[in-house]
Each structure stands twice: as C-alpha cells, then as structure tokens.
Amino acid sequence: MEINSRIYVAGHTGLVGSSLVNTLHKKGYKNIVVKTRKELDLTNQAAVEKFFADENIEYVFLAAAKVGGIGANNTYPADFIMENLLIECNVIRSAFNNNVKKLLFLGSSCIYPKLCPQPIKEEYLLTGALEPTNEAYALAKISGLKMCQYFNQQYGTNFISAMPTNLYGPNDRFDANHSHVIPAIITKMEHAKRLNSPTVELWGSGTALREFLYVDDLAYACIFLMENYENHEHINIGTGKEISILELAHLIKRIIGYNGEIVFDKSKPDGTPRKRLDISKLETLGWKATMCLEDGLRKTYDYYKKIDK
C-alpha cells in the first residue's frame, strides 16, 4: 500500500475496525474510506456494488461482522450465519468486480475444531467437528476464508485471510450477557463492586483455557500482513500464551479492586476447552504481539470506566 492508496475499512465502528483506522492514521495512511451502517448496509448487494463502483477502492480490510459471546451465538445462530455470509459475499464479490488490488479478510480462531491438537496450526482447519455453541459464526468465517482462496484460484486475485485469537480492548461491546468474555467479566465485576455485592457469578467452570490478543496488536498485524503477505492460505494471529478463565477472572478482580467472591455457574457452557494458536508462521514473517495481558486489561478497564458513568 502507498501512503495515498484508497483504503476501505469495513466495520470501522467496531472493536477491530476502529483500531485499524486509528493505526492506519498513525502509520501515515491518508486516504481511508469508511461508511457507517446507515450509510452503507453491507448485507445489501446492490448498495455494496454501487459503493465499490463509485469509490475507486484499492485495498480492503474486511473487519465488518456480526459478533457476540457464547450466549448470543447460541441464541441467534440463524442471524449469525446469515448476516455474516451476506457481508462476506457482497464485499468480496464487489472487490473482485471493481479490481481491488488486495483484500484482507478477518476471521476467528473459532473456525478450528473443538477438540483440536494444541497449539492449533493453520492446517487443522476442517479436520474435526466445531464447537456447537458458535458453529453458525464459525461456518460463516470458514466460508469467507474459502471464498478468498477460491477467488484467488479462479481469478488470480490477491485476497488474504487472517484468523485472530480472542480479542479485547477499547471500543469493545460491554454487556454482561451478550459480549465476549473479557468485557462481560469487567461489566459484571465493576457493577458488583459498585453495589458491594458479596459475589459475582460467571458462566462455566472456569477451567477453559483461552489466548487473548489486544486489539491494537491485531491492527498492526493486519497492516503488516497487507504490506508483506501474499498467499492463498490463511494465517493465525495471536500471542502464543494462554490463561484459564478462572485465572483471568482473578486478574480482572485485582485490577478492578473487587473484594467479593467469584462463583462459577457450571450449568452454563464453557465452549471449546482449549484454544491456543500456533503463530510460528506469522513470527517467521517477522511480527510479534507487544502488549502483555495485564497492561491490556488495565487499558480496557480504563476505557470502560469512561463510557460507563
């Protein structure tokens, strides 16, 4: 990408998209195109095609998606698969139709089988059954990365795919029941602290292991890949480090300063028992995450306090 290249960030108001826009600006890119959902409905094929035809887009970061935690994925699977497939089909096809030079599609580590060998290598895709609680979202993301591969294979496009591990950071959606695990724990624990509640209840057993990547690290990784990576195969983005949900909860408890007891509701699902990505492919290219988990959580908590007053 050149400094003045016309770059479209799809999903710029979300956790990933907003960080991408900020990071692109920091790196000196000056010609970034964004559209709100009201301005451009990415599930509308005709609207997306007109946008690409009118805007002369050269590079695309496809970060737009319908996302949520275990509860939301399990409750609204039809919405998750349909909306994400529509977004992917419309943006990728219109990028091809309008001669976009390069596109980066962002997936998720949930694309891999539930009981995958650890750490998870890229080639483990489609080698086993998915985690049922987010199968709909995972199938949509698998379809997106395969769509990029198939367009490359059939038409010679330069569409790449990156699969990040669990993300967190400022501008995430903070909701006790429908967000991802870190913002959900922060929300529950902060409210318990303010109410002087003796306990805070979290989903699952606490034994599940997760890897977490600060969103600004992801943004830098995506720009690095756009500048340095050309391959049909998708690539993992992560830290290579994992933590149990129980340990995570106690770390957040210490950061927030909550003095009550953490209680786990074991009737609720844990999701995939373990999910650590093999990031050797990315590290070989010369990129590593820089934000440690505790520092990233403190930044995320500081952001939450500003928006929840």
Question: How confident is the prediction for the chain on average, in pLDDT?
Answer: 95
Helix then strand count (H, E) for the chain reads 10, 13
- CATH number among 3.40.720.10, 3.20.20.140, 3.40.50.720, 3.40.50.970, domain 7-168+212-238: 3.40.50.720
- Say whether pLDDT at 47 is over 80: yes
Q: Using DSSP, state whether 23 is helix, strand or coil.
A: helix
The angle subtended at Cα 25 by Cα 292 and Cα 217, nearest 5°, is 20
Q: Which of 189, 209, 190 is nearest to 263 (CA)?
A: 189
Q: Is 229 a catalytic site residue? A: no
243-244 and 209-210 as β-strands: parallel, antiparallel, unpaired? antiparallel
Residue ranges at the known binding site for NADP(+):
11-17, 106-109, 141, 164-167, 180
pLDDT of residue 48: 98
Query: pLDDT digit string (tens) for 179-216?
Result: 788 999 999 999 999 999 999 999 899 999 999 999 99
Q: Which of 8, 59, 112, 137 is catalytic?
A: 137
Cα distances (angstroms) measured from residue 106 to each of 11, 146, 292: 11, 12, 22
Helix (H) or strand (E) holding 120: none
* Percentage of the chain lying above the pLDDT 70 cut: 99
pLDDT of amino acid 309: 67
224-252 average pLDDT score: 96
pLDDT for 250 beyond 70: yes
Task: For 63-95, write each residue's pLDDT tens digit.
Answer: 999 987 777 888 899 999 999 999 999 999 999
Q: Residue 178 pLDDT > 70, yes or no?
A: no
Angle 100-37-227 (CA atoms, 0-180°, nearest 5)?
30
Phi, psi of 27 (to 5 degrees): -85, 0
Whether the bond between 198 and the residue before it is cis, its omega within 30 degrees of 0, is no
pLDDT for res 68: 79
Sketch the domain layout of the chain as residue ranges.
7-168+212-238
- Residues 60-70: b if buried by 16+ CB within 10 A, e if exposed: bbbbbbbbbbb
DSSP assignment letter at 129: P
pLDDT tens, position by position, 95-124: 999 999 999 999 999 999 999 999 999 999
How far is residue 275 from each of residues 36, 117, 194, 229, 234, measured CA to CA in Å?
33, 9, 33, 24, 17
Residue 177 reports pLDDT greater than 70: no
